[in-house]
Amino acid sequence: MRLAIKLILAGILVASCGGKDNDTTTPPIEKELGSFNLIYPDNNLICTEGEDNGTDGVNIEFQWSASSNATSYDLEITNQENNSTDSRTVNANSLEVGLPKGTQFSWKVTAILEDKSLASDTWNFYSEGTSTENFAPFPAEITVSENNDGTVTVSWIGEDLDNDIVNYDVYIGVFGNLELILENTTNLNTNYSITSGEQYHVQVISKDSNDNTSTSQTYFTF
C-alpha cells in the first residue's frame, strides 16, 4: 500500500515539475516602405544637366532618394506631347535615360516591396536643347478637399516657363460623364456638390497666350 502511494506521489511531482511549454518565439515584424522624394530633374524647370547623345536626344540621369525596405523601383516617364509612357524597373535609386530634346515630360517613381508599393509625387520638366521661344504650360496640379457639407473644393495651379498662362477650362463630373464647369476662367478653385461614395473625375486644361495647352486630371471619392 505504501509503495502504491509513493508511486502516485511521484507521478504528481513529475507532472507538476513539467510546467508549461513557453513559446518565446517573436513573430516577424512586417516591413513597410519608407517615404522618399524625387531629386532630379527638378519640377517645372528646364533640365540643363543632360548629356547630348548626338542623335537629337539628350541623356538625363533621373535621381530619387531611397525608400527604406524597397527592393526595386518603377520609373515612369511620360512624354506630354504624344502621351506615351516609358516604364523602367531598377534596383538602384537613379537611372540614365535617353530622351528627345526640347520636349515636355512628367515623371514619377514607385517603390516596390513584394506586394506593397508606394508612389512619389509627379514632377514635370522640359529636356534641354530647344530653340523654342514659347513653351506649353506644365499640367496643372489639382487638389480636392472635402468641406463636410456635401461639397468639395477643387483647386488647381499651373506653371509655365514663359509665365504666360491666361486661363483654364475646368471639367468635373461623375466618372465617365465630364461636364464643363468653368470656361476661360482665371479662378484657381471652385466648389462642387457631390454624392458620398461616387467616383468623380476632374480635368483641367491650362492655356497660354500662344494658344499652347496642357491637360491634367485626377479622380476622387469621399
pTM of the shown model: 0.72
Position 193 scores a pLDDT of 96
Of 93, 109, 102, 110, the closest CA to residue 47 belongs to 102
State yes or no: pLDDT of 192 exceeds 60.
yes
Collapsing DSSP to helix, strand or coil, 65 comes out as coil
Shortest CA distance to 94 belongs to which of 49, 56, 53? 49
The stretch 6-13 carries a mean pLDDT of 46
Cα gap 53→100, rounded to integer Å:
10
Name the least confident of 18-22, 111-115, 138-142, 192-196. Answer: 18-22
pLDDT value of residue 24: 66
- Average pLDDT value for residue range 31-52: 90
Domains of the chain: 38-127 (2.60.40.10), 138-221 (2.60.40.10)
Distances from the Cα of 39 to the Cαs of 110, 144, 168, in angstroms? 14, 25, 29
CB-based contacts of 64, cutoff 8 Å, min separation 6: 36, 37, 38, 39, 73, 93, 94, 109, 120
Instruction: Report the alpha-carbon distance of residue 84 to residue 61 in Å, rounded.
Output: 19
How confident is the model at residue 29, as a pLDDT? Answer: 82
Q: What is the pLDDT of residue 113?
A: 96
Residue 46 confidence (pLDDT):
87
- Tell me what pLDDT residue 131 has: 54
